[in-house]
């Protein structure tokens, strides 16, 4: 497991933003566009505050979430809301946002449209994942109804209902996550550090994040 430990969270967020911006810049040197997927939740906001100011050609960057809660943007639970407030601003406001939430009553009604939207913007140039203390990553939760499809199937996006998730979700699938060119996991605190260490010895069904431990660099700071 490749873990980078930082002296504090603030330094980690700035360093990581520079690293991701550098990966996007290098990809744009050789390609017409680049794609980045980022998590929602409570952890990545300060990293977005730095990344949004990065000096790169954002007009050629597709930005998307790794997963979305099936709620409108007006909800405090909306990951899209976080992205609009903290990442798709400053220089990054020129980026093209690729939404995972469409506004239909259920995620299932939007799967064909989401597959069609995602196909041309994959593989991901840069993937940043978060992780919960239950070892879910993106919205691939232990005990979820479509866990097997998300881990082992060939769909790009999978709808998800799980005991640990208060609302229906959509998540990028394990296939999309594993295909990313540059992959990172961002975690903070002693509890998540202990959880990711434990995930190494558990199955993908018990600890979905384990599918990424050989592909991703883990970025961790305690506080």
Ligand X SMILES: O=C1O[C@H](COP(=O)(O)O)[C@@H](O)[C@H](O)[C@H]1O
Give the binding site for ligand X (CB under 6 A). Answer: 39-43, 66-67, 79, 130-132, 139
Tell me whether residue 50 or residue 56 sits nearer to ligand X (CB atom): 50
Q: Cβ 65 to ligand X, closest distance in Å?
A: 7
Tell me whether residue 131 or residue 151 sits nearer to ligand X (CB atom): 131
DSSP helix/strand/coil, 33: coil
Beta bridge partners of 217: 2, 184
Using alpha carbons, select from 210, 194, 213, 191 the residue that is nearest to residue 202: 210
Q: Cβ 59 to ligand X, closest distance in Å?
A: 25
Measured CA to CA, the distance from residue 49 to residue 117 in angstroms comes to 27
Tell me whether residue 56 or residue 208 sits nearer to ligand X (CB atom): 208
Q: What would the two tokens of residue 67 be?
A: 């997963």
Tell me whether residue 56 or residue 71 sits nearer to ligand X (CB atom): 71
Tell me whether residue 27 or residue 165 sits nearer to ligand X (CB atom): 165
Q: What would the two tokens of residue 176 be?
A: 């999309």
CB-count exposure of residue 90 (10 Å: 0-12, 13-18, 19+): middle
Q: Cβ 38 to ligand X, closest distance in Å?
A: 8
The helix or strand, by DSSP H or E, that contains position 5, with its residue range, turns out to be strand 2-5
CA 123 → CA 32, 126, 177, distances in Å? Answer: 13, 9, 9
Q: Cβ 204 to ligand X, closest distance in Å?
A: 17
Count other C-beta atoms under 10 Å from residue 85's C-beta. Answer: 12
Q: Cβ 205 to ligand X, closest distance in Å?
A: 18
Tell me whether residue 56 or residue 126 sits nearer to ligand X (CB atom): 126
Q: Cβ 141 to ligand X, closest distance in Å?
A: 9
Is the bond preceding 123 in cis, omega lying within 30 degrees of 0? yes
């Amino acid at each position: 497991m490749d873990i980078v430990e930082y002296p504090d969270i603030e330094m980690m967020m700035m360093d990581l933003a520079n690293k991701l911006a550098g990966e996007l810049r290098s990809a744009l040197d050789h390609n017409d566009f680049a794609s980045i997927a980022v998590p929602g939740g409570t952890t990545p906001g300060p990293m977005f505050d730095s990344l949004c100011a990065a000096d790169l050609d954002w007009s050629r960057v597709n930005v998307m979430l790794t997963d979305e809660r099936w709620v409108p943007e007006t909800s405090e639970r909306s990951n899209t809301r976080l992205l609009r407030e903290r990442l798709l601003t400053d220089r990054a406001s020129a980026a093209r946002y690729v939404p995972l939430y469409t506004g239909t009553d259920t995620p299932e009604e939007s799967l064909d449209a989401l597959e069609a939207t995602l196909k041309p913007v994959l593989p991901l140039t840069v993937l940043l994942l978060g992780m919960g203390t239950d070892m879910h990553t993106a919205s691939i939760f232990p005990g979820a109804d479509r866990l097997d499809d998300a881990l082992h199937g060939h769909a790009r996006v999978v709808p998800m209902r799980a005991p640990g998730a208060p609302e229906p979700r959509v998540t990028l699938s394990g296939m999309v996550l594993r295909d990313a060119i540059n992959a990172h996991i961002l975690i903070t605190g002693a509890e998540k550090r202990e959880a990711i260490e434990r995930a190494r010895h558990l199955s993908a069904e018990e600890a979905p994040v384990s599918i990424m431990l050989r592909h991703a660099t883990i970025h961790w700071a305690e506080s």
